[in-house]
Amino acid sequence: MDYGCGNGRLWRNPGHHDFELMLFDPMIDDLRKTLGHIPVPFSIATSTADLPGNHFDVIVCSLVLMAVHSDDEAAKLLETIQKCLKASGRLVLALTHPCFIHQAHPDFVTSFSQKDGFSYNQAGNQYKVIINDRGTEVSLTDTHRNLNAYLDLIKQAGLTLTDMEEITCENSKGEALDYPSFLILEAGVSEPI
């Protein structure tokens, strides 16, 4: 399942085609017309109430959690995901890297790198993100959380971190930046204590 799928851009070029895909996004009714490019069969859930429990091998939640401003809502989102995962399933959570959000990135820049001061430990601060999506600029508001805050949310939802990867992008000259732009966290369902 792609939880918070947006325009489904993650599925433009899937590496293989032998999987079932479910898309969920609270804005799905506005996004339906943008999903025609997806080359694998998919179903759409329009509400969290339609999501099957204990069902998915993998749930991807990409660039969504920063857009959820309240911690209560973020906790609810992760609890919903935890319930939908099989016991052996994995959540793959993509975040703009919270440690380097104030730096310039090839595809996005934030107000932390412009006028707003950045305090890593000041969780809950909102900031503007300007994304360059293949030449089109999109502006949105995200909420900053530090790594500790993300890990607390993950644990409280009954999930356990299993892996992480920092993604470093290249600048326009093809040189790797000195810092990662994205953080990928992988989590599984926690064993009952």
Ligand X SMILES: C[S@@+](CC[C@H](N)C(=O)[O-])C[C@H]1O[C@@H](n2cnc3c(N)ncnc32)[C@H](O)[C@@H]1O
Please give the residue whose beta carbon sits closest to ligand X in the complex. 6
Angle at 52 between CA 40 and CA 89, to 5 degrees: 75
Looking at the Cβ atoms of 66 and 189, the one nearer to ligand X is: 66
Whole-angstrom Cα distance, residue 161 to residue 155? 8
Minimum separation from the CB atom of position 68 to ligand X (A): 5
Q: Count Cα atoms within 13 angstroms, Cβ side, for 150.
A: 24
Return the bridge partners of 141, or none.
128
Minimum separation from the CB atom of position 129 to ligand X (A): 8
Minimum separation from the CB atom of position 151 to ligand X (A): 19
Looking at the Cβ atoms of 73 and 170, the one nearer to ligand X is: 73
Binding site for ligand X (CB under 6 A): 3-6, 9-10, 25-27, 62-64, 67-68, 73, 77
Radius of gyration of the chain (CA): 17
Looking at the Cβ atoms of 68 and 84, the one nearer to ligand X is: 68
Whole-angstrom Cα distance, residue 110 to residue 131? 9
